[in-house]
Amino acid sequence: MIEILIVFIKIIFALIWLLTLTLYLTWVERKESAVIQDRIGANRASILGIRIIGLFQPFADAIKMIFKEDFTPSFSKKFLHDLAPFLSFFFVAITISAIPFGDFISIGGKTINLLILDINVGLLFVLAMLSLGIYGILIAGWSSNNKFTLIGGLRGAAQLISYEVALGLSLIGLIMVYPSLNLSQIVHFQGELLFGVVPKWGIFLQPLGFMIFFFAALAETKRVPFDLPEGESEIIGFFTEYGGLKWGLFMMTDFMEVIIVSCLLTTLFFGGWQVPWLATDGFHFPWGGEWLLSHWVVVLFQVAAFNIKVFFFSWLQVLIRWTYPRFRYDQLMDMGWKLLIPLSLVNIVGTGILMSI
Amino acid sequence: MGHFLFFLLAIICVGSVLGMIISKNQAYNALLLVLAFASLGGLFGLLDAPFIATVQIIIYAGAIMVLFIFVIMMINLRLGLPPEKKKWTLYFSLGVAVVLIVELILSVKGAFSLFENSSMEKIGGPTDLGRLLFTKYLYPFEITSILIIAALVGAIVLVKKKEKE
């Protein structure tokens, strides 16, 4: 009974974490784009005259979206049209269950892993759920019964399928280095040291794999250098016929994908919750020093490290989104099939040769 | 909990397959088939084979069916079959159904004896599966991969030919 309760609490915490971060990522996006374009950005939302640099803005946006009319066009296929945003949202939100937030906490002799779903194929689970996310786009584009949305949906599906191949192949090198598909075990492997000094993070062992994964994952988020399915200036995209909260779900899915990609980058290539030289009982520096800490301080360090890394990558993705122009369709496909996939094959072969030496 | 999930997934799986057969709209057919594959993946997960479950979802629900739906949504198909083909397909499908039912019964019979002999523990792990594929079943594995590559090359050749005309 208590086990079920613990899992329940973990799910609620993870969802609150994800949704809060999503809300504030919209604020970060508005502010960062404003700074890049030499504007001030959203700063008017205020509660009782207090308007700390627009921090209440996401709530104002959310309230506005909730009270908009829930509109379904008469020419659409009603059931599928209503289903699509929920599919999109669900398959991204569920991936958070495989991401390890920290090592473990022990309360009253019980050890609780800071991870909801501890299966031995966690990495594949995340990839599977991300690949099912395509259906949200495809169904939205098709059921709206509108040529532009259909083009958007088909473009989205083509792009996601193409980049999924590179995404999967880029991770094979990583799986060869850390012989496991379990995300928490991958993070544990990254706690070891290379030459006794450098932490054994994925970025040091698989630099090429990291670059391929980063590009492919950026394409999977469907945001600006890769926003072909949306294409604001030409086709408006697969969610043209949506309004109110259903459109809001699509928008939140976009931001949640950014966060999930940040989580994956952190977990796979930047040591997850690992802090360099921090073991379960405190810091052991390679030059001989020691700084012993109690269990709770260690947990705090780990969770904070995970969060800081995720924040950094989310910020970096917003920066990329507001810096680069959109790819042309043929450039997008060329990059996926003719650059990233051959490179990831080279990465696999190279990793194999280096490991056998 | 396990029994409840099993029956839920089984009902979804069988129901969506039935719906797929009954429905005449191709897009709905494909979507219902996706649902069937996804719930089948869930059933594999309940059998302590998470690797097969996720691979089932990635390959069937995530990749193959996306291509099916892609094509169905691109070319606007008519609802149902043309009447001149209906009679012929009825007899053909009856024959196929009988053969498939016999095959199903035989394979279920075979599966029960297999179930008694083997230990349940060592099915799902990616390590065991990989080891078996590259040692005991190396030749079937390689032959299958050659077959798939041949099909891929064939598809590309067919598409190229059309472009020239």
* Other CB atoms within 10 Å distance of the CB of residue B99: 10
Per-residue confidence (pLDDT) for residue B81, from 0 to 100: 64
The answer to whether residues A262 and A310 touch, using CB atoms and an 8 Å cutoff, is yes
pTM above 0.90, yes or no: no
* Other CB atoms within 10 Å distance of the CB of residue B65: 23
Closest to B77 measured CA to CA, from B27, B29, B20: B27
Whether A179 is in a domain gets the answer: yes
Residues 6+ apart with CB under 8 A from B147: none
The answer to whether residues A223 and A325 touch, using CB atoms and an 8 Å cutoff, is no
Amino acid found at B68: F
Whether A149 is in a domain gets the answer: yes
Does the CB of B52 have a partner CB in chain A at under 8 Å?
Answer: no
Which chain A residues contact residue B69 at CB under 8 A?
135, 138, 142, 157
What residue numbers bound the domain in which A250 lies?
77-356
Q: Where are the alpha helices (DSSP H) in chain A?
A: 2-36, 57-66, 78-93, 122-132, 134-143, 147-177, 183-189, 202-205, 207-220, 244-269, 295-321, 329-334, 341-356
Tokens matching residue A5:
């309760």
Predicted confidence (pLDDT) per residue in A254-289, tens digit: 999 999 999 999 999 998 888 888 888 888 887 777
Whether A129 is in a domain gets the answer: yes
Q: Which domains does chain B have, with CATH numbers?
A: 1-80 (1.20.120.1200)
The answer to whether the Cβ–Cβ distance between B58 and A138 falls below 8 Å is: no
Whether A20 is in a domain gets the answer: no
Give how far B56 is from chain A: nearest CA, Å.
9
Above 80 in pLDDT, residue B1?
A: no
Per-chain mean pLDDT for chain B: 83
Closest to A171 measured CA to CA, from A348, A356, A352, A302: A348
Percent of chain A scored above 70 by pLDDT?
A: 100
The answer to whether the Cβ–Cβ distance between B50 and A135 falls below 8 Å is: no
Above 60 in pLDDT, residue B122?
A: no
Q: Please give the span between the terminal C-alpha atoms of chain A, in angstroms, as a whole number.
A: 51
Most confident of the ranges A71-85, A320-334, A336-350: A336-350
Closest to A255 measured CA to CA, from A14, A29, A11, A16: A29
Predicted confidence (pLDDT) per residue in A193-241, tens digit: 877 778 888 888 889 999 999 999 999 888 888 888 887 778 778 888 8
Q: Minimum mean pLDDT among A165-179, A313-327, B110-124: which range?
A: B110-124
Give how far A124 is from chain B: nearest CA, Å.
6
pLDDT interval class at B121 (50, 70, 90):
low
Measured distance CA(B134)–CA(A139) in Å, rounded: 39
pLDDT interval class at A91 (50, 70, 90):
very high
The SS3 call for residue B61 is helix
Which residues on neighbouring strands pair with residue A283, listed in sequence order? A278, A291
* Nearest chain B residue (CA) to A138: B70
Count: domains in chain A: 1
Whether A98 is in a domain gets the answer: yes
Whether A307 is in a domain gets the answer: yes
Closest to A269 measured CA to CA, from A311, A213, A318: A213
Measured distance CA(A317)–CA(B42) in Å, rounded: 33
Please enumerate residues of A whose Cβ is less than 8 A from a Cβ of B.
80, 119-121, 124-125, 127-128, 131-132, 134-135, 138-139, 141-142, 150, 153-154, 157-158, 161, 164, 181
Which among B27, B62, B74 has the least Cβ separation from residue A128? B62
Whether A232 is in a domain gets the answer: yes
* Other CB atoms within 10 Å distance of the CB of residue A131: 23
Interface mutation target, options A91, A123, A142, chain B, most CBs of B under 10 Å = A142
Per-residue confidence (pLDDT) for residue A114, from 0 to 100: 85
For residue A245, count CB atoms less than 10 angstroms from its CB and return exposed for 0-12, middle for 13-18, buried for 19 or more: middle
Give how far B155 is from chain A: nearest CA, Å.
17
Closest to A220 measured CA to CA, from A249, A183, A266, A253: A253
Which among A121, A154, A157 has the least Cβ separation from residue B126? A121
| A327 to A262, A320, A333, B158: CA distances (angstroms) | 22, 13, 10, 29
Give how far B107 is from chain A: nearest CA, Å.
29
Per-chain mean pLDDT for chain A: 88
Q: How many residues does chain A have?
A: 357
Residues 6+ apart with CB under 8 A from A178: A185, A186, A189, A190, A202
- ipTM comes to 0.82
User: Is residue A271 left, alpha or beta, with left meaning phi > 0 and alpha meaning psi from -120 to 50?
Assistant: left
Above 80 in pLDDT, residue B110?
A: no
* Nearest chain A residue (CA) to B65: A135
Residues 6+ apart with CB under 8 A from B141: B133, B134
φ, ψ for residue A194 (rounded to 5)?
-100, 130
Q: If you average pLDDT over residues B18-34, what whole number do you get?
A: 88
Above 70 in pLDDT, residue B28?
A: yes
Predicted confidence (pLDDT) per residue in A43-59, tens digit: 888 888 788 888 888 88
Tokens matching residue B54:
């996720």
Above 60 in pLDDT, residue B2?
A: yes
The answer to whether the Cβ–Cβ distance between A142 and B73 falls below 8 Å is: yes
φ, ψ for residue A285 (rounded to 5)?
-75, 145
Per-residue confidence (pLDDT) for residue B99, from 0 to 100: 94
Which among A128, A141, A153 has the least Cβ separation from residue B54? A128
Give how far B63 is from chain A: nearest CA, Å.
7
Whether A253 is in a domain gets the answer: yes
